[in-house]
Structure 1
Amino acid sequence: MDRPSPGAVESVPTRLGPLSVETIGSGPPALLWHSLFVDSTTWVRVREPLAATRRLVIVDGPAHGRSAAPEDLFTLEDCAGAALDVLRHLGIDEPVDWVGNAWGGHVGITFAAAHARHVRSLATIGAPVHALTAPERRQINLLVPIYRAVGAVGPVLGPLTTALLGEGADPGAAALIAEAFSGPARRGMARAIRSASLEREDLTPTLTSVPAPTLFVAGADDATWLPDAAAAAAARLPRGGWAVLPGAGHVAPLLEAAPALVSLLTTFWQDPDAVNSLHQSPSESTA
């Protein structure tokens, strides 16, 4: 299994309780927030090359990884406020390059709309802006009680791994997902699932309030965040672009297309204002 080089880790007090935050690298700051169900270990294949040009602030979201679980339900606005608490604690006042995977992308959109001066650029990966569909809600509502009762067993872990990585994921990526999901306390994780997934509203109306250059990245075979949907969302932004990377689930581009994702992000960071001209089809992004 992939093992990252350690950075400096500390527990940062926030409005959602203590969050585990790791910093690694040097240069302008970039904040990384992971997907729901997993934790910051999912950045393992991109963190070292990204840290060559950025000071990475890698957050474990509430109830995930080494972070505490809030006692109550929470909102994306609460998460955005907690991210601001992290930046203030670290003394970072300059705008950051936000990189969010799925849930982290939703938090990033909310953060960029509410705290525009703190965002230099925003990149979301596998982060559908629409709320869950009725079938998706039904599936999660069926699986959460099983998870609460017995944990990350096959009937829960199998569908989750497929949703995050697609069918036939490489064993190392699947093992990383399983380890990350199995770690947190089940009650806190179940509360996070309700807060960040089942209760999440449609973010489409928020897009016009995001002034930062914004890049939407979709997996070529991600059934719940199709390239056309990413392109349509980007068109609503004042400064938006989109790109497609290999992958069939929300987390797959991080783990199964890591070199391509690193290249895409570093190119975007070099000239965020060129994002309006960045419209890559699957064939272009995998060439």
Structure 2
Amino acid sequence: MKTAMSSAMVDTGLGPLKVRRTGAGEPAILWHSMFVDSETFADVVQELGRDRELFLIDGPGHGGSPGPRKLYSLQDCATAAAAVMVALNIAGPVDWVGNAWGGHVGILFADRFPTRCRTLTTIGTPAYPLPKAMRLKTKLLVNLYRALGPDPFRKTVTEALVGHNAATTAPDAARTVSEAFQRGDRRGKYWAMRSLMLRRPDLRPVLPRIQVPTLMMSGRDDAMNDAGEAERAAQAMPAGQFLRVPGGGHVAPLLMASAQVTGLIREFWSANRER
């Protein structure tokens, strides 16, 4: 059965953001990875919506959110999420679920707005900045994307987010990522890449300040998220825990191990339901 869902455009400092709403219960915000959109949560929505009212945000330049034509920061994204809460009358603290980029935003949201965040879950979210060699390579790709659009980079992005040879080993997941990458505002996505990928900050100094219960998950075969660093990041948090889940890219756990990921999140929520 397809889950009933409504949507709204919410004005924020980063322009209008598309927010889809479904489920029942205490509120939870879901923010997706760079390159894709909130459709990548499709396989977890029905189960998570049994316990929570879900608010799925399309980040600036992605999905139905056009995004600004200027540089902005992850902190600006966290502030925009707070604006969504105000506009939609989300009164209570939220359970935050962030995939990659969404996890970065969630960390800063929990740090800046601790009373608005009950728990934090991150999936495939490196806390360290983009390594120099990768940043130089990514800068070239971002400039080429600006000139050529998404088509030449579909395979590269899909394999980065799902895993090597994804079109053969996980065709459904590869199709979901490829289609999401092609959606969204081209100029808005360029500014998101330039603002947030190339200028991704080191979030490790923030982690010891995060007081909310935090679950960090990382794909076992995710080459872009060092497992040792991910575990140390969780250990640096006063109430952090780390789990490895199946997946060869930042988005892969949501698409290829959705039942396991959903079960772990619901157990985590249950364990912290009195908070």
- Give the TM-score range, shorter chain: over 0.9
In structure 1, distance between residues paired with 2:221 and 2:273: 28
2:134 maps to 136
- Cα offset for 1:231? 1.2
Which residue identity lines up with residue 160 of structure 2 in the other structure?
A
- Cα offset for 1:271? 0.8
- Cα offset for 1:244? 0.6
In structure 2, distance between residues paired with 1:261 and 1:176: 18
1:88 aligns with 2:74: no
1:164 aligns with 2:161: yes
In structure 2, distance between residues paired with 1:184 and 1:4: 23
3-state SS in 2 of match to 1:44 = helix
The alignment covers a number of residue pairs equal to 271
- Cα offset for 1:9? 0.2
1:187 maps to 187
Counterpart pick for 1:103 among 85, 101, 104: 101
* Deviation larger for 128-137 or 101-110: 128-137
Counterpart pick for 1:47 among 40, 45, 48: 45
Contact 1:213 1:273 in 2 (8 A): no
Contact 1:4 1:44 in 2 (8 A): no
1:277 maps to none
Identity of aligned residues (%): 45
Contact 2:220 2:245 in 1 (8 A): yes
Alignment of 1:115-126 (within 5 A): 115-126=113-124
- Cα offset for 1:4? 5.6
1:73 aligns with 2:71: yes
Counterpart pick for 1:10 among 5, 8, 11: 8
Instruction: List, as ranges, runs of 4+ consecutive aligned residues in structure 1 with deviation greater than 4 Å.
Output: none
2:213 maps to 213
In structure 1, distance between residues paired with 2:85 and 2:53: 12
TM-score by length of 2: 0.95
In structure 2, distance between residues paired with 1:4 and 1:124: 26
Gaps of 5+ in 1: 275-287
3-state SS in 2 of match to 1:67 = coil
Gaps of 5+ in 2: none
In structure 1, distance between residues paired with 2:244 and 2:90: 31
In structure 2, distance between residues paired with 1:123 and 1:239: 12
**CA-based RMSD:** 1.5
Contact 2:63 2:185 in 1 (8 A): no
3-state SS in 2 of match to 1:254 = helix
2:243 maps to 243
3-state SS in 1 of match to 2:135 = helix
Query: Residue deviations 1:201-249, cap 9 Å, x none?
Result: 1000010111100111000011121332221001110111010100010
- Cα offset for 1:151? 1.5
Change (3 A) 1:191 1:4: farther
Contact 1:16 1:70 in 2 (8 A): yes
Counterpart pick for 1:30 among 23, 28, 31: 28
Contact 1:239 1:273 in 2 (8 A): no
* Deviation larger for 80-89 or 144-153: 144-153
Which residue identity lines up with residue 53 of structure 2 in the other structure?
R
2:56 maps to 58
- Cα offset for 1:92? 1.2
TM-score by length of 1: 0.91
1:112 maps to 110
3-state SS in 1 of match to 2:60 = coil
3-state SS in 2 of match to 1:46 = helix
* Deviation larger for 60-69 or 140-149: 140-149
Which residue identity lines up with residue 259 of structure 1 in the other structure?
A
In structure 2, distance between residues paired with 1:265 and 1:176: 22
Contact 1:220 1:226 in 2 (8 A): no
Which residue identity lines up with residue 263 of structure 1 in the other structure?
G
In structure 1, distance between residues paired with 2:45 and 2:67: 25
1:261 maps to 261
In structure 2, distance between residues paired with 1:82 and 1:159: 30
